[in-house]
């Protein structure tokens, strides 16, 4: 019976250690997330499209004075990918709307299983229309190019031109890297993502 009591103690201590590690990890991740938001706050405004918040940055010419141009960033990016260099270079000739894709930057996720490119396109099209851009030029880069293509296929009358910058246009048959498989899994999103946020250095 002694080994049973010893095993029970080990399990209790291990459980307490895991609980303490989880509390510490979530606390540290929360601190670092708050610091990231403070140092890189939203650059634009938040729209409510249906039940989803969509972050949009408006740059360039005033509404109605130039063609509308929508910029859609690639995988794991945000509006800052476009505001760093591209949008300022185009600001004299266009009214520019730059969106955080769903689940990235300051836009809400559409669902917990991963939004399809068609779902993302529908949400961004509605957001653009809410901003008064009924038939914009739509430019998408990399994964954002796939979203832009889905926009053109599903809503052909709602854009005036499509620009694909290294856009993904064929099915992606190769498996995801281990990093993406882990972080996108239910367990990984609960364990790995907070741990990475809490303890991986800025470098």
Q: What tens digit of pLDDT does each residue of 33-74 get?
A: 999 999 999 999 999 999 999 999 999 999 999 999 999 999
At 1 the pLDDT is 66
Burial grade of 198 (CB within 10 A; 0-12, 13-18, 19 or more): middle
- Domains (range + CATH), the chain: 45-165 (3.40.50.1820), 174-203 (no CATH)
At 55, give phi and psi (nearest 5°). -90, 130
The yes-or-no verdict on residue 114 having pLDDT over 80 is no
Confidence band for 23, pLDDT divided at 50, 70 and 90: very high
The yes-or-no verdict on residue 18 having pLDDT over 70 is yes
Distance CA 119, CA 33 (A): 27
- pTM over 0.85, yes/no: yes
Distance CA 152, CA 176 (A): 26
Closest by alpha carbon to 49, among 159, 136, 130, 154?
130
- Residue 182: HSE in the Cβ half-sphere, 13 Å Cα cutoff: 9
Distance CA 103, CA 110 (A): 7
- Strands (DSSP E) contained in the chain are 45-49, 52-60, 68-72, 95-99, 137-141, 161-165
At 174 the pLDDT is 86
For a pLDDT cut of 70, what percent of the chain falls above it?
99
């Amino acid at each position: 019976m002694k080994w049973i009591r010893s095993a029970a103690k080990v399990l209790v201590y291990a459980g307490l250690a895991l609980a303490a590690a989880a509390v510490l990890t979530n606390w540290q991740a929360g601190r670092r997330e708050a610091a990231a938001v403070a140092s890189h706050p939203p650059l634009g405004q938040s729209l409510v499209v249906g039940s989803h918040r969509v972050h949009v940055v408006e740059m360039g010419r005033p509404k109605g004075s130039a063609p509308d141009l929508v910029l859609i960033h690639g995988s794991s990016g945000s509006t800052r990918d476009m505001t760093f260099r591209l949008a300022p270079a185009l600001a004299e000739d266009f009214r520019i709307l730059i969106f955080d894709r769903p689940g990235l930057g300051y836009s809400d996720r559409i669902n917990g299983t991963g939004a399809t490119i068609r779902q993302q396109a529908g949400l961004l099209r509605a957001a653009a229309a809410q901003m008064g851009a009924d038939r914009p030029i739509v430019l998408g880069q990399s994964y954002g190019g796939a979203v832009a293509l889905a926009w053109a296929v599903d809503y052909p009358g709602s854009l005036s031109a499509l620009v694909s910058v290294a856009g993904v246009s064929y099915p992606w048959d190769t498996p995801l890297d281990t990093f993406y498989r882990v972080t996108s899994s239910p367990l990984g999103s609960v364990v790995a993502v907070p741990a990475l946020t809490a303890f991986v250095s800025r470098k």
